[in-house]
């Protein structure tokens, strides 16, 4: 069963969400019309005076990559969603922009006085990749409040102990000091690797700090992911995976991978946003209930529910008994509103072409959800997905099954305008039918 359908009357007043069958019946009788596809919302064609609104609780399970959302009414889960963030993509884009900017300034303004220290940050500043996670959740909280009579919010205020995650037996002074107590990073690495190149064992040469798992492919800068290498080995490895670089040296590969630990950037991201998100939720003037991750796990285990993000959200806070009335949550992926970069560059950072200032072509813009009926070719049939527009009128489409190209504008019909997100389509199609 898909999610319950949000309902508003002709005056925009919130009403109780209804079962998909009831929504389908109202649509067939022409007593309602589709107001919004994602989340699926219908608008009645008549006003409702003094509606009997029931209190709904919005529950949130914040995560680094995926956050869970659930709406509970009278111990019944009537709506769920899984929100996929784009924090790592933002981080990669910022790194790419930073490299291009530095190369350009080195070419154009080599002798300009440095000005990178005259910047100030406001109190409570968070990196853009972290801030985007908070903004995504707040965006959907406000959207849901617009269509559903939400009486309160429940948030899982989870905290990860990264020291205990690495070594559950750690305690006492060792817990307080940490791994680098009394060392600088370079000195620590020189002592750890015997002042030799980790790849060729060369001594008495200048050694450089090197990432075992390349930073360009998601590797962290934790000391467990760092080693020292001579200039020749560092240049030869580049951004290759260490397993490919040392494919012919299995003993050396095993020795390197023994000390490498899993990155904890996801745990650090959740630790960073938990209080910021809680304080921002309190600004909505709704009562905010906080709960621990242990209580969520206890509730989920007691009720015998599978481990998913949206069911974790449903188990946040004080839970007696839950009846799951939906089995197909809405899948939401943050995609952003597009790039503001007007000058496109090649892989070396040199400008090659400029973007047009026009964002809309033939009535469509990148990010619109459309239905395209292609009559011939490799992708003949009906496809629904997110559009990538071109000035020529020959577009591309990103579907659940992959990329569909070419898609001409005359075969497209808009079903949902760009709002910065991409959605799973099965819930909508299953509810309204063909």
* pLDDT (0 to 100) of residue 195: 86
With vertex at residue 32, the alpha carbon angle to CA 31 and CA 33, rounded to the nearest 5 degrees, is 140
68 and 308 in contact (C-beta within 8 Å)?
yes
Do 62 and 138 reside in the same domain of the chain? yes
**pLDDT of 288 above 60:** yes
**What single string gives the DSSP state of each residue in 118-155?**
S----TT---HHHHHHHHHHHHHHHHHHHHS-EEEEEE
What does the mean pLDDT of the chain come to? 87
| Rounded mean pLDDT, 195-219 | 86
Assess if residue 138 is contained within a domain: yes
Question: Mean per-residue pLDDT for 136-151?
Answer: 95
Domain for residue 152, yes or no? yes
Instruction: Give yes or no: residues 1 and 131 share one domain.
Output: yes
Least confidently predicted of 13-22, 144-153, 169-178: 169-178
Flag whether 7 is in a domain: yes
Q: Of 336, 370, 399, which closes a domain?
A: 336
Residue 34 or 261, more confident:
34
**What is the pLDDT confidence band of residue 347, given thresholds at 50, 70 and 90?**
confident
The domain boundary, picked from 258, 284, 307, lies at 258
Residue 434: its pLDDT value, please? 40
* Same domain? 183 vs 118: no
Highest mean pLDDT among 48-52, 65-69, 159-163: 65-69
In a domain, 432, yes or no: no
Find residue 60's DSSP bridge partners: 69, 155
Contact call for residues 370 and 397 (beta carbons, < 8 A): yes
Task: Please check whether residue 426 lies inside any domain of the structure.
Answer: no
Query: 194 or 70: whose pLDDT is higher?
Result: 70
CA atoms within 13 A on the CB side of 225: 16
Same domain, 149 and 23: yes
- 212 and 128 in one domain? no
Q: What is the CATH number of the domain that holds 320?
A: 3.30.420.40
Do 203 and 327 share a structural domain?
no
The HSE-up count of residue 396 (CA atoms within 13 Å, CB side) is 5
CATH of the domain at 383: 2.30.30
Residue 243 has pLDDT above 90, yes or no: no
- Tokens representing 104 are 């350009």
Confidence (pLDDT) at 48: 92
Tokens of 227: 């080693």
Please tell me the predicted confidence (pLDDT) of residue 110: 82
Calculate mean pLDDT across residues 376-392: 90
The number of distinct structural domains making up the chain is 3
pLDDT for res 154: 95
Question: In terms of domains, do 96 and 74 share one?
Answer: yes
Query: What is the rounded distance in angstroms from the CA atom of residue 434 to the CA atom of residue 430?
Result: 8
Strands (E), 292-350: 323-324, 330-334, 343-345
Q: What CATH number has the domain bearing residue 181?
A: 3.40.1800
Q: Does 218 lie in the same domain as 99?
A: no
Rounded mean pLDDT of 79-83?
Answer: 95
Tokens representing residue 3 in the block: 């999610």
In this structure, are 53 and 184 located in the same domain? no
Three-state DSSP state, 223: helix
How wide is the angle at C-alpha 376 spanned by C-alphas 373 and 379, nearest 5°? 70
- 215, 278, 297 from 395: Cα distances, Å: 34, 41, 45
276 shares a domain with 326: yes
Specify whether the CB–CB gap between 292 and 158 falls below 8 A: yes
Position 202 pLDDT exceeds 70: yes
Backbone angles phi and psi of 367, in degrees to 5: 105, -15
Residue 5 shares a structural domain with residue 75: yes
**In a domain? residue 54:** yes
At residue 338, the pLDDT reads 81
Range of the domain at 322: 1-160+264-336
**Which of the listed residues 232, 258, 284 is the one where a domain comes to its end?**
258
Q: Are residues 253 and 271 in the same domain?
A: no
Strand partners, 44: 32
């Amino acid at each position: 069963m898909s999610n319950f359908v949000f309902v508003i009357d002709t005056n925009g007043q919130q009403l109780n969400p209804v079962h998909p069958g009831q929504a389908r019946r109202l649509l067939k009788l022409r007593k309602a019309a589709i107001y919004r596809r994602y989340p699926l919302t219908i608008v009645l064609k008549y006003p409702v005076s003094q509606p009997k609104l029931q209190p709904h609780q919005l529950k949130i399970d914040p995560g680094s990559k995926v956050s869970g959302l659930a709406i509970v009414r009278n111990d019944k889960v009537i709506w769920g969603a899984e929100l996929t963030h784009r924090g790592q993509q933002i981080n990669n884009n910022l790194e790419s922009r930073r490299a291009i900017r530095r190369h350009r300034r080195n070419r154009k303004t080599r002798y300009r006085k440095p000005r990178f220290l005259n910047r100030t940050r406001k109190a409570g500043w968070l990196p853009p990749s972290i801030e985007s996670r908070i903004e995504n959740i707040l965006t959907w909280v406000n959207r849901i409040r617009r269509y559903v009579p939400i009486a309160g919010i429940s948030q899982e205020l989870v905290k990860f102990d990264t020291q205990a995650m690495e070594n559950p037996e750690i305690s006492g002074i060792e817990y307080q000091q940490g791994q680098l107590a009394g060392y600088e990073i370079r000195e620590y690495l020189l002592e750890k690797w015997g002042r030799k190149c980790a790849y060729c064992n060369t001594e008495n040469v200048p050694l450089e700090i090197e990432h075992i798992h390349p930073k360009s492919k998601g590797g962290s800068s934790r000391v467990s992911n760092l080693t020292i290498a001579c200039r020749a080995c560092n240049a030869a490895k580049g951004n290759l995976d260490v397993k490919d670089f040392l494919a012919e040296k299995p003993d050396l590969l095993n020795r390197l991978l023994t000390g490498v630990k899993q990155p904890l950037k996801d745990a650090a991201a959740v630790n960073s946003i938990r209080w910021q998100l809680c304080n921002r939720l309190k600004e909505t003037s709704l009562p905010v209930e906080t709960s621990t991750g242990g209580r969520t796990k206890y509730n989920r285990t007691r009720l015998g529910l599978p481990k998913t993000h949206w069911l974790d959200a449903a188990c946040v806070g004080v839970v007696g008994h839950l009846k799951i009335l939906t089995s197909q949550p809405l899948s939401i992926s943050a995609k952003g509103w597009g790039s503001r970069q007007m000058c496109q560059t090649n892989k070396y950072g040199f400008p090659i072409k400029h973007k047009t200032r026009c964002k809309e072509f033939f009535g469509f813009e990148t990010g619109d959800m459309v239905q395209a009926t292609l009559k011939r070719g490799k992708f003949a049939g009906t496809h629904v997905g997110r559009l990538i527009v071109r000035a020529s009128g020959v577009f591309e489409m990103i579907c659940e099954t992959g990329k569909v190209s070419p898609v001409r504008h005359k075969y497209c019909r808009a079903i949902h305008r760009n709002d910065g997100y991409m959605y799973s389509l099965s819930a909508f199609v299953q509810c309204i039918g063909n």
